[in-house]
Amino acid sequence: MSAVLSRKLAEPPLLPPVTSIVPPAPIAPGLLEQVNALAEVIAGHEARIGNLALAEAQGEPGASQALVELESAIAVARAEHAKKSAAHKAALVADRTALETHRAWVRTLPTETLIAGITAKECPDLCHAAGCSIGCGTPLCMHPRRSGVPPQHQSDRTIRDNHHAANLEIIRQEHEAR
């Protein structure tokens, strides 16, 4: 028998159980804070130019050197501001891509995983403040006893299937309780 025929098909590795569908933390807000802080630094430095320019014009000792140092500090802050602004723009794209990738991953999870733990009063185990597992991570709660599938998601077959399965699970639990 040849070696090719005797090989067993490799089994895919077992994946750990899904314990959360919380999306990745965004990067852009932290960078925006840095951009805004640098803008304030630049504005503060620029506010000092007038007094130093006047002092230099009046021949005060050290004013010229202080003005050169201030202009240098402004140039450094502007360069850093430009870098952080570009990083912020890139982070906005990266955050959007990460969220889209995350939501696409959530959509690949089996319905049974997404509705696990649902009861008539409690949301599924994977629901969190920023996303509903029945709605594949969308920020709207779609618990069958609290709301239906919103109009903007009516055409989404996966969400409708999850919602239907969640409703059936609640009905099953109610029949068992009788």
151 DSSP 8-state letter: G
Same domain, 115 and 96: no
pLDDT tier for residue 1 given thresholds of 50, 70 and 90? very low
- What pLDDT is attached to residue 130? 85
Asked, for residue 17, whether it belongs to a domain, the answer is: no
Same domain, 97 and 127: no
Higher pLDDT, 115 or 15: 115
Asked, for residue 10, whether it belongs to a domain, the answer is: no
pLDDT tier for residue 17 given thresholds of 50, 70 and 90? confident
CA distance 79 to 58: 31
Same domain, 132 and 69: no
Nearest partner of 136 among 99, 97, 91, judged by Cα: 99
Q: What is the pLDDT of residues 97-126, one digit of tens each?
A: 998 999 899 999 999 999 999 999 999 999
Same domain, 102 and 139: no
Same domain, 88 and 99: yes
Same domain, 137 and 159: yes
Contact 151, 142 (CB under 8 A): no
Q: Give the residue numbers spanning the domain of 73.
A: 28-108
Quote helix, strand, coil % in the chain, to nearest 5. Answer: 60, 0, 35
Same domain, 173 and 118: yes
Contact 144, 167 (CB under 8 A): yes
Asked, for residue 150, whether it belongs to a domain, the answer is: yes
Give the count of beta carbons closer than 10 Å to the beta carbon of residue 125: 17
Contact 111, 164 (CB under 8 A): no
Q: What is the pLDDT of residues 122-140, one digit of tens each?
A: 999 999 988 899 999 998 9
Asked, for residue 14, whether it belongs to a domain, the answer is: no
Asked, for residue 155, whether it belongs to a domain, the answer is: yes
Q: Which residues pair with 132 in a beta bridge?
A: 138
User: What domain count does the chain have?
Assistant: 2
- What pLDDT is attached to residue 4? 52
7 DSSP 8-state letter: P
CA distance 128 to 15: 22
Same domain, 50 and 87: yes
Same domain, 36 and 53: yes
Same domain, 135 and 168: yes
Same domain, 103 and 115: no
Asked, for residue 35, whether it belongs to a domain, the answer is: yes
CA distance 170 to 112: 13
